[in-house]
Amino acid sequence: MKFENALMGHSKISNSAIHQGKSPGVIISKSMNVELSHNVVTDFAEHGVWAMNSKNLVLTDNWVFHVVEQVDKPPVMIEYKGWKGAMTLSEGTSFVEARRNVVAGSWHHGFHFVPARCGEANPSWIF
């Protein structure tokens, strides 16, 4: 599931199960006003939930399990790159509320937060 350049609307995914894919579970890219609440995200590759270059996000009470490097390949620790893991907020993502989330069974990191610098310009959204 991907939010890309979803800027002017408002999306809320709640009480839902997002499961058993072969690539990232939820990607929020260059988007705003997305809420993930009380969901279970399980059995994905590279990322469970990955927010990048985004703003005004609410991530509460989500469970994220079993995120591996690649579905068809035994995982290897040395291949960590690109902030892969269960829940990642990176690359200028700002104004995020993340509370009471649980991650487990991620081959690389559980949570990885890479906050924007103070005064950092907004990301370069498409348009």
Partner 1 sequence: MGYRCKRNGVIGGNLGAVTLRRIKAIDNGLAGIEIEKVVDVADGIGKLEDSLVVGRSSQWDGAGLSPHGVITPRTDMWTVSNIRFFNFDWAQAAALGTCSHCYFEPSTDSDARTVKTERLAFTNVNMRIRYQYPFKGILWDQDGTLTNLGAKSWATAFWKHNAAQSECQTDRLLYDGIICNNSVQVRRIVLYGYKPSSLDNRKLFILPYDDSVVSSMTSADLLTYEGTDTNGSLVDWLKYRNPEKHWTVPYVTGKKYYLRWAGGLDFDQMTVEIIPSLWSATDGDVEFEMPHYDMRHAVYVDNNLKVRFDNETLTWAENNATDFTFGDNLVRNITKTRRINLMINGDNKKVSSVTLTGVRCIWDCAPPVPDVKPPDPTMRLWSRLADWEGRATIPLDGENVVIPSHWNMFYDIPVSEAKVLRSVEINGKLTFLAGANRELKVYNLWVRSGELNIGNSTHPFPNKATITLQGDNTEEFWAFTSSIEAGNKNLVVTGNANLYGRPRDQRSRLQTTVYSGMDTFFVSTGLDWAVGEQIVLAPSNMRTLDTDICVIAEHSSAEGKIRCASPLNGYHFGDSVSSETAHGVDMRTEVALLSRDIEIGASQHDISHSAREPWGCRILVSDFFEQDADMTMRVGSLRMDHVSVHRCG
Spatial separation of the C-alpha atoms in residues 9 and 100, rounded to whole Å: 25
Q: Which stretch binds partner 1 (CB under 8 A): 4-12, 52-60, 92-100, 115-123?
A: 4-12
- Binds partner 1 (CB under 8 A): choice among 16, 56, 60, 94: 16
For residue 48, state whether it binds partner 1 (rule: CB under 8 A): no
Q: Which stretch binds partner 1 (CB under 8 A): 38-46, 49-57, 91-99, 113-121?
A: 38-46
- Binds partner 1 (CB under 8 A): choice among 52, 57, 68, 87: 68
Least distance to partner 1, CB of residue 93, Å: 17
Q: What's the full length of the chain, in residues? A: 127
For residue 12, state whether it binds partner 1 (rule: CB under 8 A): yes
Q: Which stretch binds partner 1 (CB under 8 A): 18-26, 51-59, 88-96, 111-119?
A: 18-26
For residue 99, state whether it binds partner 1 (rule: CB under 8 A): no
